[in-house]
């Protein structure tokens, strides 16, 4: 009888162990806010944007894509999130064409070199945190703020190849006198296989890390610690069919936090200046317990002379939250 109880207990215990979600280093890595995505269009396409060179471009996804930007582009975005969280975006992208002094006939002039510039900010934070002392008494509301400021520069070194570098500055205000800054880099390349296919390669968050010093609060008991950002390696492929108004992309991301992520997105120009899109992000081949994030969205553009105003919306499922994500962006092309 005791043997039966022991055997049953062993089975129950084993089932409980195997039923636990698989832990991932990425879940506790710093800079999580910077890996959610940028704006409604990118998130709506599952963030599979590193090889896309149509529409509003930002070096967040790949510093090498900005030389393909048409005109000037300014984007601003706001995310509707639960649990008093905030996530906002701003970006300006411009292309620069450089001509040879020998080209005097305007109709035949072709840029000798094309460069791209992208300047942006990602702001995140949490408000209304209930502060308490060691005795459990209220000390007032607290808040945190985490920000990324980036500037990306790129150049087309040939008709088919573009390379770029983005410099990123992080600032994290955690608690009263406790804050940290970091400087990191993204390196990207894009290859135009033909008029339909592009291939991209991006290295993300090189040298990014937070360094903490808690001595302003704990004095001699304070410690100095360092949190390194995970390094990401992305390989992307995109396909565009102008006649059908179809744009699709797929991307594979590997990290030193032992994740292997697949993401994909598709965009369809359903009518004139109206676009619909959908995507899947965070399909982790290394961890079946990792929550997959499907998304849907749309865009509408309206010209006003030389100014084109666009509105983007994206919906993304967010597990472990009381509500899902809603992202709204406004674009100005001029």
Query: For 160, which DSSP code?
Result: S
**pLDDT score recorded for residue 106:** 57
Cβ neighbours, 10 Å, residue 225 = 10
What Rg value do the Cα atoms of the chain yield, rounded? 23
Q: In the structure encoding, which two tokens stand for residue 14, read together?
A: 């084993």
Distance CA(153)–CA(48), nearest Å, equals: 21
Cβ neighbours, 10 Å, residue 290 = 19
Contact 309, 281 (CB under 8 A): no
**pLDDT score recorded for residue 10:** 39
* Cα–chain center distance at 21: 25
Block residue for tokens 């089932």:
15
Contacts of 192 (CB under 8 A, 6+ apart): 53, 159, 160, 161, 198
Angle at 200 between CA 240 and CA 245, to 5 degrees: 10
Contacts of 307 (CB under 8 A, 6+ apart): 332, 333, 334
How confident is the prediction along the chain (334 residues), in pLDDT tens digits per residue? 444 444 444 344 444 444 455 667 888 899 999 999 999 999 999 999 999 999 999 999 999 999 999 989 999 999 999 988 999 999 999 999 887 766 655 556 677 789 999 999 999 999 988 888 888 888 888 889 999 999 999 999 998 999 999 999 999 999 888 899 999 999 999 999 999 999 999 999 999 999 998 888 888 888 888 999 999 999 999 999 999 999 999 999 999 999 999 999 999 999 889 999 999 999 999 988 899 999 999 999 999 989 999 999 999 999 888 889 999 999 999 9
Q: Which fold has domain 39-102+112-333?
A: Porin (2.40.160)
Domain boundaries, the chain: 39-102+112-333
> Is residue 11 helix, strand or coil?
helix
> Which residues on adjacent β-strands are paired with residue 113?
98
Query: For 106, which DSSP code?
Result: G
DSSP per-residue string spanning 25-90: GGGG-S-GGGGS-SHHHHHHTTT--TT--SSS--TTT-GGGGGG--SEEEEEEEEE-STTEEEEEE
**pLDDT score recorded for residue 7:** 40
Nearest residue to 46 (alpha-carbon basis) of 268, 296, 257, 245: 296
Q: In the structure encoding, which two tokens stand for residue 167, read together?
A: 């410099």
Query: For 219, which DSSP code?
Result: G
The most distant pair of C-alpha atoms in the chain lies apart, rounded to whole Å, by: 98
Contact 321, 67 (CB under 8 A): no
φ, ψ at 86 (rounded to 5°): -130, 145
**pLDDT score recorded for residue 97:** 86
Distance CA(305)–CA(71), nearest Å, equals: 14
**pLDDT score recorded for residue 272:** 86
């Amino acid at each position: 009888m005791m043997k039966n109880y022991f055997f049953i207990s062993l089975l129950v215990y084993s089932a409980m162990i195997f039923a636990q979600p698989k832990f991932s280093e990425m879940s506790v890595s710093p800079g999580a806010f910077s890996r959610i995505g940028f704006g409604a269009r990118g998130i709506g396409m599952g963030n599979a944007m590193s090889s896309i060179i149509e529409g509003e471009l930002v070096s967040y996804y790949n510093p090498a894509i900005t030389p393909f930007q048409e005109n000037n582009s300014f984007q601003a975005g706001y995310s509707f999130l639960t649990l008093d969280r905030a996530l906002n975006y701003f970006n300006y992208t411009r292309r620069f064409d450089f001509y040879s002094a020998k080209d005097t006939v305007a109709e035949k002039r072709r840029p000798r070199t094309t460069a791209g510039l992208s300047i942006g900010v990602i702001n995140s934070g949490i408000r209304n945190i209930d502060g308490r002392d060691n005795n459990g008494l209220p000390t007032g509301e607290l808040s945190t703020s985490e920000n990324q400021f980036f500037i990306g520069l790129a150049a087309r070194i040939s008709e088919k190849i573009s390379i770029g570098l983005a410099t990123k500055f992080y600032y994290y205000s955690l608690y009263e006198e406790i804050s940290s800054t970091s400087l990191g880099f993204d390196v990207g390349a894009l290859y135009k296989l033909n008029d339909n296919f592009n291939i991209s390669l991006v290295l993300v968050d090189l040298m990014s890390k937070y360094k903490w010093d808690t001595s302003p609060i704990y004095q001699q008991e304070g410690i100095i610690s360092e949190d390194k950002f995970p390094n990401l390696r992305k390989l992307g492929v995109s396909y565009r069919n102008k006649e059908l108004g179809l744009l699709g992309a797929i991307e594979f991301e590997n990290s030193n936090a032992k994740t292997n992520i697949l993401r994909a997105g598709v965009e369809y120009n359903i009518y004139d200046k109206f676009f619909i899109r959908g995507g899947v992000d965070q399909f982790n081949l290394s961890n079946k317990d990792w929550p997959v994030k499907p998304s849907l969205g749309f865009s509408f553009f309206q010209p006003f002379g030389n100014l084109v105003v666009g509105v983007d919306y994206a919906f993304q499922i967010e597990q472990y939250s009381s509500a899902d994500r809603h992202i709204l962006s406004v674009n100005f092309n001029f």
